Structure 1
Amino acid sequence: MKLNVGVPKSMKVAAMVQPWEDPLSGDDVGNLMAQADLLGFNKCMLGEHFIIPQEHVALSGDWYFHTVVALGFIGGRTKNLRLSSSVSILPLQNPIVQAKAWSTLDWLSGGRTEALFGVGWLKEEFDILGVPFAKRGRMADEYLAAMIQLWTKDEPEFEGEFVKFKNVGFAPKPVQKGGVPIWLGGDAEAVMKRVAKFGNGWSPFRTPPESFPDCIDFIQSQPEYDGRHLDFFFALEMLNVGAHHEILDDPRAPGTVSKQKIIDQIGWLKELGITETIVPLPPGVADSEAYLDRLRWVAAEIMPAVRD
């Protein structure tokens, strides 16, 4: 099992944020991710929204980074930590611009990027940005196909409803063979079909962990799945977050200081087919030093016990 780490102060979702994050500066965040890198965590993850209607701020917060910009900063402070969105809202930005951002980050970081895309849920955000919410699924499929063309072809071309190009050059290409690994986030059947067609990994949001084996079977049964290796991410802390960021108070979500309970939880997730997770923080972390102590403890006590 690979252990990932969330980026502190990258969002203020009420169901997940803790008060110790408030005083952090950008330099503090960079220092904490540099330590996570040295401790051997697999990758950092952070979410994205561009603008939040006021009626959603209480639960969702309005503090979000642009994922590629933030990951570029973290990439400059780290050497091995992989750099992942969680999630980038695919239909809200031009796919050529997104492909350029991700390939730039991959080239500059030496091939450490993983793009986790979602189609979005907040209709008002789409309305403000002038993107048709009802077409977001079709747009996502086209955008992914177009981005793969740009990342992998010497003479890329694409003809679709939402994006068209030919007789163009596009460089730098991503360092990673086959382009930036594509993860898809979300729970709908359409998302799982998108994983089968395009994905290297799946990170659902509200899918119960117990459903993972059936979902994995569904993905791998799709006619467009070509047998490529797939990874699967789930963190128990996500059980505390509702579809619109409501607080659910699921008793499985909070972190614990019990080594054996954490090892048992991770073993259970692994049996379900999950390959990556985050060890949740216990409630009431006092400050950034206590957070760093938790990372050190997880690296020393948990990581060796669950390493594949």
Structure 2
Amino acid sequence: MKMKLSIGVPKSMKVAAMVQPWEDPLIGADVGELMAVADNLGFYKCMLGEHFIIPKEHIELSGDWYFHTVVALGVIGGQTKNLRLTSSISILPLQNPIVQAKAWSTLDWLTCGRAEPIFGVGWLKEEFDMLGVPFGKRGAMADEYAAAMIELWTKEDPEFEGEFVNFKNCGFGPKPVQQPHLPIWFGGDAPAVQRRVAKFGDGWSPFRTPPEKFPDCIDYIKSQPEYDGRSLEFFFALEMLNVGAQHEILDDPRAPGTSDKQKIIDQISWLKELGVTETIVPLPPGLTGKQAWIDRQTWVAEEIMPHI
């Protein structure tokens, strides 16, 4: 199976372990231009993260610059034709699931079936506190929210009764273009996340799980009684090895990008052997601006894509 190469959205966050100085002067039009370039080069997905509000003590490592994923992906979707539109991640418990279902189905409908969320439960308790969401219930909320969203996307007469979500005698449209519903991914590492993938998911995006453990985790997902044999995808980017659980900088030597073609191909082959189906080729350090980014991604498209 061919490895799918996705691409991060420049200036979509300022996590110290991942951001580069060349991104700082970019404006919105630049971001749209670069994503159009990525689309034309044949990259599979664009990906960007999400937080809503950051406590001051976390800004040094996490930054305070994050787009609303669906809004940003809608703009990017209007400037691209084939690039799939992915959050990495959207924090599922922080927004009402009816509102989230509406946002994602609208994005999917308007972009002719290109929306593909990765949901997570979140880790930043202070963010939950400021949004009035109970941090200790975020796992149970995520399970219920996912089930409620699928109900809205797939049923002509949606109905749901739960602890956190209730609706009946209602209509919901537009439905997603993708059938039976747009793909749902889950990001994170806990066994509860893996069980969520088994129950609801089309893909898993680990964060702090050591890559060597991916095969065991995939076996665990597929061993769950609620897994029905559907096809699953798995995303991991080596640059994530440089990011700690609370965005600490880890300086993992495998994380930085390189211009060594064979090394990149070998790294991707290694990930593929571990079960990964989608990845990002990390940027080398020290890029100098938009054109350097374009040159790098053009090189990846010409020199790496044909060999993986």
Q: Normalised by the shorter chain, which TM-score bucket?
A: over 0.9
If the length of structure 2 is used for normalisation, what is the TM-score? 0.99
Cα deviation, residue 24, structure 1: 0.3
- Matched with 1:295 is 297
2:261 is aligned with what amino acid?
A: K
Q: Does 1:243 align with 2:245?
A: yes
Q: Does 1:262 align with 2:264?
A: yes
Report the Cα distance in structure 2 between the residues aligned to 1:243 and 1:178, rounded to whole angstroms: 34
- Matched with 1:144 is 146
SS at match of 1:210: helix
- Matched with 1:129 is 131
Deviations 1:248-284, CA, capped at 9 Å, x for gaps: 0000000000000000000000000000000000110
SS at match of 1:87: strand
Cα deviation, residue 3, structure 1: 0.1
Report the Cα distance in structure 1 between the residues aligned to 2:284 and 2:48, rounded to whole angstroms: 19
Q: Does 1:96 align with 2:103?
A: no
Q: Does 1:21 align with 2:19?
A: no
Report the Cα distance in structure 2 between the residues aligned to 1:166 and 1:63, rounded to whole angstroms: 38
- Matched with 2:122 is 120
Report the Cα distance in structure 2 between the residues aligned to 1:12 and 1:143, rounded to whole angstroms: 28
- Matched with 1:49 is 51
Cα deviation, residue 180, structure 1: 1.4
Report the Cα distance in structure 2 between the residues aligned to 1:83 and 1:9, rounded to whole angstroms: 16
Structure 1 residue ranges (4+ consecutive) displaced by more than 4 angstroms after TM superposition:
none
SS at match of 2:116: strand
1:143 is aligned with what amino acid?
A: Y
Report the Cα distance in structure 1 between the residues aligned to 2:44 and 2:210, rounded to whole angstroms: 24
Report the Cα distance in structure 2 between the residues aligned to 1:215 and 1:142, rounded to whole angstroms: 23
**Unpaired runs of at least 5, structure 1:** none
Task: Report the identity percentage.
Answer: 80
Count of aligned residue pairs for this structure pair: 306
RMSD: 0.3
Report the Cα distance in structure 2 between the residues aligned to 1:65 and 1:5, rounded to whole angstroms: 16
**Unpaired runs of at least 5, structure 2:** none
Cα deviation, residue 179, structure 1: 1.1
Report the Cα distance in structure 1 between the residues aligned to 2:242 and 2:276, rounded to whole angstroms: 18
